[in-house]
Amino acid sequence: MLMRKVAIVGVGMTKFGEDWKRGFRDLILEAGKKALEDSNLHGAEIDGLFCGTMAPGPLIGQEHAGALLADWMGLNPIPSVRVEAACASGGVALRQGFMAIASGLHDCVVVGGVEKMTDVSGADVISALGGAGDQEWELFPGATFPAIYALAARRHMLEYGTTEEQMASVAVKNHLNGSHNKYAQFQNPITIDTVMKSKMVASPLKVFDCSPVTDGAAALVLMPLEKAKSHAEIPVEIVASAQASDTLALHDRKSLTELNATKVAAKKAYEMAKVRPSDIDVAEVHDCFTIAEVMAIEDLGFVKKGMGGKASADGKTALNADISINTSGGLKACGHPVGATGIKQAVEISWQLRGQANGRQVENAEIGLTHNVGGSGATCAVHILKRAD
């Protein structure tokens, strides 16, 4: 299979959080402008736009988001596509952009992600996010995503002896990383005690085990690697892009303690990049809940199955430890504007590989990975990035 090599030449993002002064359009415009400025490009050079956004209809009453974004960003008449894959919308949008450049169909594309989540009630957010699961078998009977991941946590505790304190250590580590990230929603370190004493959401998951509701946007500029050097001092090559699917409903899965879509996508990505899990220096994984990070580092092959909780508690996933996980603060501390998350992950890894992650830099980072999950694991996108000196 002949493909062109693809590079990230520009990155940009907004601060994540509760943004009461700006709307959906303002957020993606800021992120896109930053990415273009970072790549020393003008809008006229862009020939395609792919944007991940999960639920602009129920959240802000706006559909036809692809056309809206091209219009608002001043990129008409280029083709513009809204990509929806629940919380993996950003990661799948990145894959679409990657394939567009790799195939030769496009020469320069913007890949973005955006969500405005705080303009509606909490009940409306829960309803919108619930659509990422099986409505008939999960949401209608009352199974929200905290409840679904709580089932996974309980089963992981039963099978492997994982403890609530071990899961809490994930939150502590990610909040510490987030305290060094000016774009993060939460920038204060916390303790195990903070997590353990926080309000119960769905046993055993507490408030500090859960990612927040967030507004934000992120953007990337992609082009062929052969042209990248003229636009970026340190281009970041996308050496692998993989995606896999699983059953929408949790009750049809073979296991509650792993995400098969993650395992399949990761295997394909490692093979495509010709690397092993041990070659990855830094990874942004989908920690919508602390148990999700525990399972992710197992399913991605960074630790043995069942050892994710212990590895986290032992500090093996801390900054500049065995493998640096979620240096941005992850979904847990940096925030989770669902459509933007997969793009933010690639922005963070790009900064790490460029040596620009001020205050949270992984030493000698050369290879990074992003892991973006939709729903409870029905979709997974994995990308591997490498510094292209």
Find out whether 144 and 126 touch, Cβ atoms under 8 Å: yes
- Topology adopted by domain 6-121+214-236: Peroxisomal Thiolase; Chain A, domain 1 (3.40.47)
Q: State the pTM of this model.
A: 0.98
Query: Which burial class, exposed, middle or buried, applies to 64 when counting CB atoms under 10 A from its CB (0-12, 13-18, 19+)?
Result: exposed
pLDDT recorded at residue 75: 92
Residue 283: closest CA among 259, 318, 314:
318
Q: Helix count (H) and strand count (E) of the chain?
A: 14, 12
The catalytic residue positions are 87, 336
CA dihedral 294, 295, 298, 299 (to 10 degrees): -150
Pairing of strands 48-52, 109-115: parallel
pLDDT recorded at residue 266: 98
**What does CATH list as the number for 129-211+239-387?**
3.40.47.10
**389 residues of the chain, pLDDT tens digit each:** 568 999 999 999 999 999 999 999 999 999 999 999 999 998 889 999 999 999 999 999 999 999 999 999 899 999 999 999 999 999 999 999 999 999 999 999 999 999 999 999 999 998 999 999 999 999 889 899 999 999 999 999 999 999 999 999 999 999 999 999 999 999 999 999 999 999 999 999 999 999 999 999 999 999 999 999 889 989 999 999 999 999 999 999 999 999 999 999 999 999 999 999 999 999 999 999 999 999 999 999 999 999 999 999 999 999 999 999 999 999 999 999 999 999 999 999 999 999 999 999 999 999 999 999 999 999 999 999 999 97
For the chain, the structural domain boundaries read: 6-121+214-236, 129-211+239-387
Geometric angle at alpha carbon 179, from 171 and 95, rounded to 5°: 70
Question: Is there a common fold for 6-121+214-236 and 129-211+239-387?
Answer: yes
Strand partners, 109: 48, 222
Q: Is the dihedral of CA 69, 73, 75, 77 positive or negative?
A: positive
